[in-house]
Structure 1
Amino acid sequence: MTVTARSKYSTGAMIFHWVIAAAVITNWRLVEAAEHASKVDEAYWMGHHKALGITILALTLGRLAWRLTHPIPPISTAVPQWQRVLARTTHILFYVLLIGLPLGGWLAGSYFDRGVDIWGLFTAPALPVGSSSEMGKTIIGFHKTGGEILIYLIALHILGALKHTFWDKDGTLFKMLPFGKVKG
């Protein structure tokens, strides 16, 4: 395969990728700050966590729409089949978690009759599910577990990109960057 424009992701895909990546890491740090804060400060940090979660949901839906309408670079046939399957599975799991986690957090808050204030700009209203603190707590438990899985998945994704770029020397990382060369 020769290096062509198709060997890299589109500029839009790159922007979505890096903005969502930064938002997810920031959101993880926000919830960590909330867990170690006083009750008053916890509400402050969680308010930002929830608002950023809804923003991540919107960005992910935008990225998914972009992904469905713009071709992605193929995985090299030199990559073993099991690694190609792992890469595709990881990307599918990212979409599931990047959509499911914000929806789950919003749903859990809805069981406590709470909408999500988006930085004072507007409020995403509570979903029409009724009140049930037990159900809200259960969903928050799943939400936390999903968040932990997402962090491990990010680590796997980073390790895979670094392995391919620096060990295999195929330039995989540069598929998602506007600079650098992808080896054909």
Structure 2
Amino acid sequence: MQIENPKRYSLGAMIFHWLIAVLVIVNWRIAESAEHLEGAAKGAVFANHKALGMLILALTLGRLAWRFAHPLPKLPNNYAPWERILARTTHVLFYLLLVGLPLGGWLASSLVERPIDFFGLFTIPVLPVGMNTDLGGTIFDFHKTAGTIMIYLIALHILGALKHTFVDKDLGIFRMLPFGGKARQ
């Protein structure tokens, strides 16, 4: 939903955005730190990665619900048509990855019959898909590749925000911050 008025995202959207962004980067670093571990140590680190992934999924679903209930600011008028397309495409890809990565990880874990321990609070059971270690391994490989794509997408997103803020001087980054310059319409 879009309306003409707001120049910034709502406070709720800002909180979801920054919380999810930090958790995604932390989760990526957790996965990277586990790559060279073996056995129980690797399993313990990946247990945290999986639990955090499920938290990211829950927050993303909350963010999507928030987004549909609250108006989005229009893109500034100074955006070129290709920038508008790139901005919208990037946001769609973010949502697909923020939902797809945790679901894919949960599916892969289910295929190797490993339930997800949610930080010792409760266990997320395996999906009723049966055991298939080959398919589980293939999905884990896709999951890793999609995670790498997510990191590149984050870098593109940051570069775009910096470009609009400091090169175009439309203060684009302040659309997602509750303070600072006045973002242009």
> 2-side partners of 1:139 and 1:7: how far apart?
40
CA distance in 1, matches of 2:122, 2:112: 19
- The residue type paired with residue 183 of structure 1 is R
Structure 2 match to 1:95: 95
Task: Supply the distance in 2 between the matched residues of 1:42 and 1:15 (Cα, whole angstroms).
Answer: 32
Specify the alignment match of 1:42 in structure 2: 42
Cα distance in 2 for residues equivalent to 1:183 and 1:70? 20
Q: Does 1:112 align with 2:104?
A: no
Q: Secondary structure at the match of 2:117?
A: strand
Deviation at 1:163, TM superposition (A): 0.3
- Equivalent residues, number: 181
3-state SS of 2:37 partner: coil
| Structure-2-length-normalised TM-score | 0.95
Letter in 1 for 2:89: T
In structure 1, the partner of 2:157 is: 157
List structure 1 segments (4+ residues) > 4 angstroms apart after TM superposition: none
Unaligned runs of 5+ in 2: none
TM-score normalised according to structure 1 size? 0.96
Aligned to 2:143: 143
Residue type of the alignment partner of 1:119 = F
Name the SS of the counterpart of 1:182 in structure 2.
coil
Aligned-CA RMSD value: 1.1
Which residue does the alignment assign to 2:76?
76
Identity of aligned residues (%): 60
Superposition map of 1:163-178 within 5 A: 163-178=163-178
The letter for the 1-side match of 2:184 is K
Q: Residue 40 of structure 1: CA displacement?
A: 2.5
Instruction: Answer yes or no: is the 8 Å Cα contact 2:76–2:184 preserved in 1.
Output: no
The one-character-per-residue Cα deviations of 1:26-75 (angstroms, maximum 9, x if unpaired) are: 00000011112232321111010000000000000000000011011100
